[in-house]
Amino acid sequence: MMLSGFPDAAPLEGLLGGLLIGLAAAIMLLGLGRIAGVSGMAARATGISNSGAPWPVAVLFVGGLVLGAAVFTGLNGPIVATYPPSYSWLVAGGLIVGFGTRMGSGCTSGHGVCGMSRLSPRSLLATVTFIGSGMATVAISNAVLGAWS
Amino acid sequence: MIRSLLALLSGSIFGFGLALSGMIDPMRVRGFLDIFGAWDPTLAFVMGGATIVMAAAWLIQRRMHTPVACDEFSLPSTGLIDRKLLGGAALFGIGWGIAGLCPGPAIASLATNLIPAGIFVLSMLAGMLAYRVAERAT
């Protein structure tokens, strides 16, 4: 499906994928009584955090993320993905994302999906903050370093 | 057993949804954040779809005494807003903008682009560990 004015957008795939992500988070909430927050689950699964979901739950959830994406590519073929121009962007971005998500107690899944849908003021403010700082970062890096190819 | 199955099912559907929605492509995520360039609104549709389903789930949750497979709900508070929350969120956004990856898509990408996704995920875990060390030091 095309969205007029936005030739690159994939609104239908985005919406369908989003509905599935919501379903996944609903299974975690109603089945296991927990927030499907990926940063928290990753910290728990690797032993970086000692609190949160039971360790097997975190490991299976994180492993499931990889499995689900593998199943998708098995059915639909490889996914075209464009990465930053150098590995140093990945290292810098990863370090800051890791530090920031632990400090701010969540990321796009925990605060963005689970918290906003619960009308949590804390999560609404966190989400507005990381989207805003993300937009500012992209604008500045494009201006200073040029856009990705 | 049922708990393990639900955790794996939740993660797998999540990962499949991330792949279907195009969020595994860092360029597409960055396109959403690039409001002064060729803005790509796809991520807003992803968030919208996910939030609608979860809003319904929260309505159901209010009527439940316990989760289906556990003894109690273990949910974070919704109120506390402090410098730690906002500073952490601001930092996260900076890293998100730099790499075009947040934790969910990065981990799911291990299935599709092992080397670059692995570099990001290992760096992310190092950042998480650094926060733990910094937190203990203060």
**In this predicted model, what pLDDT tens digit does every residue of B78-132 receive, in sequence order?**
889 999 999 999 999 999 999 999 999 999 999 999 999 999 999 999 999 999 9
Q: How confident is the model over A21-79, as pLDDT tens digits?
A: 999 999 999 999 999 999 999 999 999 999 999 999 999 999 999 999 999 999 999 99
Compute the average pLDDT of residues A1-14: 86
More confident position, B138 or A119: A119
Residue A124 is predicted with a pLDDT of: 97
Minimum CA–CA partner of A52 in chain B: B74
Contacts of A88 (CB under 8 A, 6+ apart): none
The verdict on a CB contact (< 8 Å) between A20 and B10 is no
A149 has pLDDT over 90: no
Number of H helices, E strands in chain A: 6, 0
Contact of A101 with B107, CB cutoff 8 Å = no
pLDDT number for residue B137: 87
A24 touches chain B (CB under 8 A): yes
The answer to whether ipTM exceeds 0.95 is yes
B15:A9 CB<8 A = no
Q: Which of B40, B69, B120 sits opposite A94 (nearest CB)?
A: B120
Whole-number mean pLDDT of chain B?
Answer: 97
Contact state of B102 with A111 under an 8 Å Cβ cutoff: no
Please give the pLDDT value at position A1.
66
Among the partner-chain residues B90, B120, B132, the one whose CB lies closest to the CB of A133 is B90
Say yes or no: A85 contacts chain B, CB-CB below 8 A: no
Q: CA angle at residue B10 from B5 to B11, to 5 degrees?
A: 100
Is the pLDDT confidence value at A15 over 80?
yes
- The A residues from 99 to 128 touching B (CB cutoff 8 Å) are 99-105, 107-109, 111-123, 125-127
> Do the Cβ atoms of B91 and A103 come within 8 Å?
yes
pLDDT of residue B66: 97
CB contact under 8 A, B38 and A68: no
The structure tokens listed for A16 are 């369908």
Quick one: DSSP state of residue A147?
Answer: -
Say what the pLDDT of residue A115 is: 97
**pLDDT at res. A72:** 98
Rounded alpha-carbon distances, angstroms, from residue A39 to A10, A36, A110, B112 = 26, 9, 8, 20
pLDDT of residue A63: 98
Q: Which residue of A has its CA nearest to B40?
A: A9
Residues from chain B contacting residue A115 (CB–CB below 8 Å)? 78
Distance from CA of A2 to the nearest CA of B (A): 11
Sign of the dihedral through C-alpha A116, A56, B13, B121:
positive
Instruction: Identify which has the larger pLDDT, B57 or A145.
Output: B57
Is the model's pLDDT at A6 over the cut of 90? Answer: no
